Amino acid sequence: MAEAVDYKVVGTRPIRPDGVDKVTGRAQYGADLNLPNMLYGKVLRSPHAHAKIKSVDVSKALAMDGVYAAVSGADFPTAAHGDIGGEGGGDVADVAKNVMARDKVLYHGHAVAAVAATSQSIADAALAAIDVEYDVLTPVLDVDEAMADDAPLLDENCFTANLPEKPDKPSNIAAVMQLARGNVEEGFEAADVIVEGDYNIPMAHQGYIEPHACTATINEAGQATVWCCTQGHFEFRSMTAKLLGMEIADLKFIASEIGGGFGGKTVVYLEPLAVLLSKQSGRPVKMMMTREDVFRATGPTSGTHCKVKVGAKKDGTLTAATAWLAYEAGAFAGAPMGPGAMCVFAPYELENFHIEAFDVLVNKPKVAAYRAPGAPQAAHAIEVALDDLARQLDMDPIDLRLKNAVSEGTQASYGPKFPRIGFKECLEAAKAHPNYTKPLPEGAGRGVAAGFWFNVGMQSSAEVHINENGSVIVVEGNPDIGGSRASMCIMAAETLGVEYDSVRALVGDTESTGFSNVTGGSRTTFATGMAVIEACEDIIAQCKARAAATWGVDEDQVEWEDGQAVPAPGVNADVKPLSLADIAASAHKTGGPLLGRASLNAQGAGASFAVNICDLQVDAETGKVDVLGFTAVQDAGRAIHPDYVEGQMQGGASQGLGWALNEEYIFDKNGVMENAGFLDYRIPVASDLPMIDCEIVEVPNPSHPYGVRGVGETPIVAPLAAAANAVRDATGVRVNDLPLSPPRLLDAIDSAE
Amino acid sequence: MGPSGPCAIDAAMAKVVFPDHLLQHTGGERELDVVAANFRELLAVLESKWPGTAEVFAKCAVAIDDQIYQDAFLEPLQPHSEVFFMQRIEGG
């Protein structure tokens, strides 16, 4: 398993540096900034899920006392098609229309106008004074319905992409994707047992605690500053510039503390509106979403319809598999069907498979990323099918997975061979875990499932400043969502050879540090960590040069050991080692302040696997599920700060269990979400869940100096199927659709009796 | 430099594999043997074989000898390198 490496700081669990301000309320979140003469911006949202906009008249709103600005789609520049850039951003024209509708509204809650006024109540009254004429159209609310030949079209110009020939008529299917290998028919003929299933999962939201919020101000020279909660302020700057036709250098973005994102804060909604309203009014404008706005108008993850068929020999060897995966994109193209297709069979060796995936437009909010986007839905289908297969083969479910698990050198279903990975190590750790063999209470059930995610690198920048006393300031360009400041401090301390307590980290704004892609994709500890390590190595090189100059020896005669410059072995120099503090104290004599920097596009992200064990009980009279125990096993590569790694594993498990058991967007026949609040959209709270046990497996990623793989995505992939398989074990009834809510389970149990 | 001309040395060719969703750009060809010193040269070869496709291929993620690159450009190719084009991977 883990290689023995004698790290001094990596792998320790120091107290998080942002904790005190967060628990005392001092931390500044997106809605916390107030400026003199600030106005409140609000958005008028469509009451229809699908309609043509005949006209928007804001004149009555603008004439009201206290109203300083009112805008609609006509006030925005026409956005040309092109890649908006960033994480899951999509087409510029689509993002522009999502931020503010132009000719059509495509979901209930779609923005059609916005105002800025001196108070929130005046802004509300102004919204009520805006006249919008609609020509209401039939909404398309279901992925199967949307794929039908005669379905009403959301976009007359949407022609299915990735087909050999451009189709001759438009469709709600924005794109298709296929992956295939071997001969599926022959593979199924060789099977002794075949299982298949049909699985539906409705849209679900990330459920971050902090709603979207921002404040923008623009001066007479056209230079704007935006404070906002975001997973990536550099990419928000770029998107806002593109949507408003502004020069990037005229936009400064400052990231606030952030109360969760999970992928949902990688795209702009309010920021371009706030800048435009500020420009029109000449005053700062603050905009804040309500929870209802968040549900109706930001990006959840796709609802899906998946079909999976798997064949196996009596000994459990898989012979063939097929997957048909339809993902709801919401109002604009861009469902995560590609990652879903690439993930569905990724954990298993398969000579014969065929995967088809579809990106489908429906009159619902445009989806956004959510931890391992697209993977949990696909994994639910295959992992439930494998559970059924294990039952038919009378085989332990972990043994079945071990029999077929990928390892280093296996050709992945998505193309290349796997480099060093830790799937088998995770399966073995799960099988050996005492929770796997712990006796269950009577009537309870146990389920197992596995999960996979690629992880990514991408661009990061970092600077390391050495203060005059040798203490260290790390500047990163990534908003700290999952504990990156602590992790960056740990990696800097380890690399420089100094104490953790002498290092501080901060998140720079877009004018004070170099470009960094979003905090997402489990990339920050990996990629930004690499930038911090390189910046520290830059410092070490400078320190060695200054020590050499101080001692009058060549630079290659100096080494860096335990945080100090020392003569290299064999160098005959009667000198005292120089610590970082010593070199910093005399820096004014040896060339000035010490500043290290690095920027990179990190390659070599290491794939991460997980195995989950779920114990639960189902109340036969009410259908309510009580989760009795949950064990998350995951390969982190190397856990820089194990508390944060376990936090990610527990957070992903909690969100996955919520998705499995209760969470769902419920729409009426007109496409109006009926449960747009946390009372009716039921995310798990602390009293709903047991302590989630974590076992961190460490199979180091050879492409990272400390072996980091990234941990934030994978934890949500397996819990959906783990819970579904536990329900099957507890009740004897297989329920393929999620959520496993009391009414659905009660109905299934009653039907089986 | 042609992708598989008579002068090409088979022993020094990289194998390039295209997934289904890119076959519309390759005339249905799934695999191609290419002589190229790095990914930039490979893109030039593909553009010369299938004009107008450079932007499509440049936007893909690519695995070169099992290492996935989101933004490959200067990465070297070895004789017998395996190159798989893939959809770009993102995350939450």
State CA A325 to chain mean position distance: 20
Residue A251, domain CATH: 3.90.1170.50
Res. A538: pLDDT tops 90: yes
Residues A680 and A630 in one domain: yes
A359 touches chain B (CB under 8 A): no
Residues A266 and A211 in one domain: yes
Res. A1: pLDDT tops 90: no
User: Cα–Cα distance between B59 and B40 in angstroms, integer?
Assistant: 13
- What's residue B2's pLDDT? 40
Say if A531 falls within a structural domain: yes
Using pLDDT thresholds of 50, 70 and 90, give the confidence band for residue A272. Answer: very high
Which chain A residue is nearest to residue B27, measuring alpha carbons? A164
CA distances from residue A658 to A385, A688, B53 in whole angstroms, order as listed: 21, 9, 44
Say if A150 falls within a structural domain: no
Say if A349 falls within a structural domain: no
Using pLDDT thresholds of 50, 70 and 90, give the confidence band for residue B9. Answer: very low
Using pLDDT thresholds of 50, 70 and 90, give the confidence band for residue B90. Answer: confident
State CA A16 to chain mean position distance: 22
Say if A334 falls within a structural domain: no
Measured between beta carbons, the chain B residues lying within 8 angstroms of A175 are: 21
Residues A493 and A566 in one domain: yes
Q: What is the number of other CB atoms lying within 10 angstroms of the CB of residue A604?
A: 17
Instruction: Provide the b/e sequence for A316-343 (b: ≥16 CB within 10 Å).
Output: bbbbbbbbbbbbbbbbbbbbbbbbbbbb
Which residues have a Cβ under 8 Å from the Cβ of B82 and sit 6 or more positions away?
A: A416, A417, B14, B15, B17, B63, B64, B65, B66
Residues A668 and A613 in one domain: yes
Residues A472 and A446 in one domain: no
Residues A482 and A585 in one domain: yes
Residue A121 sits in which domain range? 39-138+206-297
Please name which of A191, A235, A83, A108 lies closest in space to residue A668, comparing C-alpha atoms: A108
State CA A603 to chain mean position distance: 19
Report CB contact under 8 Å: B92, A458.
no
- What's residue A4's pLDDT? 59
Residues A74 and A110 in one domain: yes
DSSP letter string, A123-188: HHHHHHT-EEEEEE------HHHHHSTTPPPS-TT---BTSSS--SS--SEEEEEEEEES-HHHHH
User: Cα–Cα distance between B60 and A534 in angstroms, integer?
Assistant: 27
Task: Report whether the peptide linkage leading into residue A739 is cis, meaning its omega lies within 30 degrees of zero.
Answer: yes
Average pLDDT over residues A42-58: 98
Query: Parallel, antiparallel, or unpaired: how do β-strands B82-86 and B14-17 relate?
Result: parallel
Using pLDDT thresholds of 50, 70 and 90, give the confidence band for residue A753. Answer: confident
CATH class of domain segment(s) B11-86: alpha beta
Using alpha carbons only, how large is chain A's radius of gyration in Å? 27
Report CB contact under 8 Å: B91, A264.
no
- What's residue B12's pLDDT? 65
Tell me the pLDDT tens digit for each residue of A403-458.
999 999 999 999 999 999 999 999 999 999 999 999 999 999 999 999 999 999 99
Residues A648 and A678 in one domain: yes
Structure tokens at A37: 């003469």
Residues A558 and A658 in one domain: no
Q: Which of A596, A630, A653 is the last residue of a domain?
A: A596
Region of residue A519 (left: phi > 0; alpha: psi -120 to 50; beta: else): beta
User: Cα–Cα distance between A731 and A624 in angstroms, integer?
Assistant: 12
Res. B4: pLDDT tops 50: no
Structure tokens at A225: 């500053």
Say if A406 falls within a structural domain: yes
Residue pointed to by tokens 């036709």: A245
Res. B11: pLDDT tops 70: no
Please name which of A485, A479, A12 lies closest in space to residue A259, comparing C-alpha atoms: A479
Residue pointed to by tokens 């190397």: A638
Report CB contact under 8 Å: B90, A453.
no
Average pLDDT over residues A11-28: 95
Res. A2: pLDDT tops 80: no
State CA A607 to chain mean position distance: 15
- What's residue A559's pLDDT? 97
Residues A559 and A421 in one domain: no
Structure tokens at A660: 């499995």
Q: Would you give the DSSP letter of residue B48?
A: H
Q: Give the dihedral sign, CA A718/A720/A721/A722.
A: positive
Say if A311 falls within a structural domain: no
Residues A44 and A125 in one domain: yes
- What's residue B6's pLDDT? 41
Residue A489, domain CATH: 3.30.365.10
Inter-residue contact A438 to A430 (CB < 8 Å): no
Total structural domains in chain A? 3
**Alpha carbon of A731: minimum distance to chain B alpha carbons (Å):** 34
- What's residue A88's pLDDT? 64
Measured between beta carbons, the chain A residues lying within 8 angstroms of B88 are: 338
Nearest to B87 among A262, A338, A603 (CB): A338
Count residue pairs from A and B with Cβ separation < 8 A.
105
Query: Parallel, antiparallel, or unpaired: how do β-strands A131-136 and A608-618 relate?
Result: unpaired
Using alpha carbons only, how large is chain B's radius of gyration in Å? 12
ipTM score: 0.88
Inter-residue contact A735 to A745 (CB < 8 Å): yes
Which segments within B1-92 are labelled E, that is strand? 14-17, 31-34, 61-64, 67-69, 82-86
Average pLDDT, chain A: 96
Residues A88 and A213 in one domain: yes
Tell me the pLDDT tens digit for each residue of A635-691.
999 999 999 999 999 999 999 999 999 999 999 999 999 999 999 999 999 999 999
Q: Would you give the DSSP letter of residue A703?
A: T
User: Cα–Cα distance between A447 and A387 in angstroms, integer?
Assistant: 8
A327 touches chain B (CB under 8 A): no
User: Cα–Cα distance between A584 and A564 in angstroms, integer?
Assistant: 11
Tell me the pLDDT tens digit for each residue of A449-467.
999 999 999 999 999 999 9
B50 touches chain A (CB under 8 A): no
Say if A553 falls within a structural domain: yes
